[in-house]
Amino acid sequence: MCGRFTLKTPERVKFERLVNTFDLDNIIPRYNIAPSQDVLAVVERESVREVTSLQWGLIPFWSKEAKGFINARVETIEEKPTFKESFQRRRCLIPADGFYEWERVGKISQPYYFQMKDGAPFVFAGIWDRWKSNGSTITSCAIITTTANELLATIHHRMPVIMRPELHDLWLQEDSRPADLKEILIPFPASEMTSHAVSRDVNDTKSDGEHLLQPVDPNIGVNLRLF
């Protein structure tokens, strides 16, 4: 699954063919993005591509309550009513430059931080929907997950789908075939990623800041060094 992520270098995020001038240079770095919070996303409607803000936790348009789902499993995304139509018609890209996953050791959940070896930003494959009720509207999204690569598998059996730049057009275009899309929802190569244990302070959604990324010894929970 994917339950927290970072966008600590938003100024490094680059997209092509955007119609709006969303100023990423003024976006505040975030080190602990959590469900129910707003996230940046790229969407395409009627061949118009733009950066927007979506609430993390997809609420299907037909839902009777504002209950969100933060992840959608690639294995069942075409079957579950919660995700099926969004997968077919409303796909998005969610910028990030790292994410957290937890290893369960007895009664303790130890967080680890995963990122590219060069620290570069990337995008998650996502889907979105728009929910309306009693005059209020919530536009929300979910991150698609797949089986873990070799690096993630030592910690957890799932990971978010990370999409390479050459696949962005295929993912966003409204006329892309679901069969073609399913083929690209695969684990990102472990050889291009790195990870390390971090402070359990990340468990608190109110905690934010660069200190959350400092490596720790998972056995004793103390910082090893500063970035």
| Tens-binned pLDDT, residue by residue, of the chain (227 aa) | 789 999 999 888 887 767 665 666 678 999 999 999 999 999 998 888 899 999 999 999 999 999 999 999 999 999 999 999 999 999 999 999 999 999 988 888 999 999 999 999 999 999 999 999 988 999 999 999 999 999 999 999 999 999 999 999 999 999 999 999 999 999 999 999 999 999 999 999 999 999 999 999 887 654 544 44
Candidates 44, 92, 101, 141; catalytic one: 101
Other C-beta atoms closer than 10 Å to the C-beta of 147 total: 14
Task: State residue 14's pLDDT score.
Answer: 81
What is the C-alpha to C-alpha distance for residues 177 and 187, in angstroms, rounded to an integer? 20
Distance of CA 220 to the CA centre of its chain: 29
141 is catalytic: no
Q: Measuring CA to CA, how many Å separate 33 from each of 65, 136, 184, 208? A: 23, 24, 25, 9
Q: What is the pLDDT of residue 10?
A: 86
Q: What are the structural domains, with CATH classification, of the chain?
A: 4-213 (3.90.1680.10)
pTM of the model: 0.93
Nearest to 82 by CA among 58, 57, 55: 58
Q: How far apart are CA 116 and CA 119, in angstroms?
A: 5
Q: What is the largest CA-CA distance in the chain?
A: 53
Establish whether 92 is a catalytic residue: no
**Residue 21: what pLDDT?**
55
Catalytic residue, from 2, 44, 92, 141: name it.
Answer: 2
Instruction: Work out the angle at residue 218's Cα, subtended by the Cα atoms of residues 194 and 221, and round it to the nearest 5 degrees.
Output: 125
Is residue 179 within a helix (H) or strand (E), and if so which, with residue range? helix 178-184
Taking the C-alpha atoms of residue 45 and residue 181, their distance in angstroms, rounded to an integer, is: 17
Q: Which of 46, 53, 47, 45 is nearest to 22 (CA)?
A: 53
